[in-house]
Amino acid sequence: MRVVSGIQPTGNLHLGNYLGAIRNWVRMQDSLSGGAQVAGGGSAQERGQCLFFLADLHAISMPHDPAELKRGTLEMAAALVACGIDPARSVLFNQAQVPAHAELQWLLGGTARMGWLNRMTQWKDKAGKNREGQSIALFTYPVLQAADVLLYQATHVPVGEDQKQHLELARDIAQKFNNDFGETFTLPEPIVPPEAARIMSLRDGNAKMSKSDASDMARINLADDADLIMQKVKKAKTDPEPLPSEMAGLEGRAEALNLVTIYAALAGETPDAVLSRFGGQGFGAFKPALGELLVETLAPISARFRALLGDHEALDAILARGAAQAREIGLPTLDATYRALGLVR
Q: What is the arrangement of strands in the sheet containing 189-191, beginning at the earlier edge strand? A: 91-94, 49-54, 2-7, 156-158, 189-191
Whole-angstrom distance, CA of residue 171 vs CA of residue 175? 6
Nearer to ligand TYM, 37 or 212 (CB): 212
SS3 245: coil
Catalytic entry in 129, 211, 232, 235: 211
**Catalytic annotation, pick one of 70, 126, 232, 237:** 126
Q: Is 269 annotated as a binding residue?
A: no
Give the other-Cβ count within 10 Å of 59's Cβ. 22
The residues, ordered by sequence, that sit 6+ positions from 172 with a Cβ below 8 Å of its Cβ are 116
Site for ligand TYM in 12-41 (CB under 6 A): 16-17, 20-21
Residue pair 99/325 in contact (Cβ under 8 Å)? The answer is no
Q: Three-state DSSP class for 23?
A: helix
Known catalytic residue at 126: yes
Q: Under the criterion CB under 6 A, does residue 199 sit at the interface with ligand TYM?
A: yes
> Binding of ligand TYM at residue 58 (CB under 6 A)?
yes
Cβ neighbours for 255, distance < 8 A, ≥ 6 positions apart: 200, 202, 204, 205, 236, 237, 238, 239
> Minimal distance in Å, beta carbon 247 to ligand TYM?
19
Residue from 89, 126, 176, 198 touching ligand TYM (CB under 6 A): that is 198
Q: Does 205 bind ligand TYM (CB under 6 A)?
A: no
Q: What type of residue sits at position 38?
A: V
Rule CB under 6 A: say whether 7 interacts with ligand TYM.
yes
Question: Which of the stretches 64-72, 106-114, 154-162, 295-303 binds ligand TYM when contact is defined by CB under 6 A?
Answer: 154-162
Residue ranges at the known binding site for L-tryptophan: 148
- Where along the sequence are the contacts to ligand TYM (CB under 6 A)? 5-8, 16-17, 20-21, 55, 58, 145, 148-149, 157, 159-160, 162-163, 197-199, 208-209
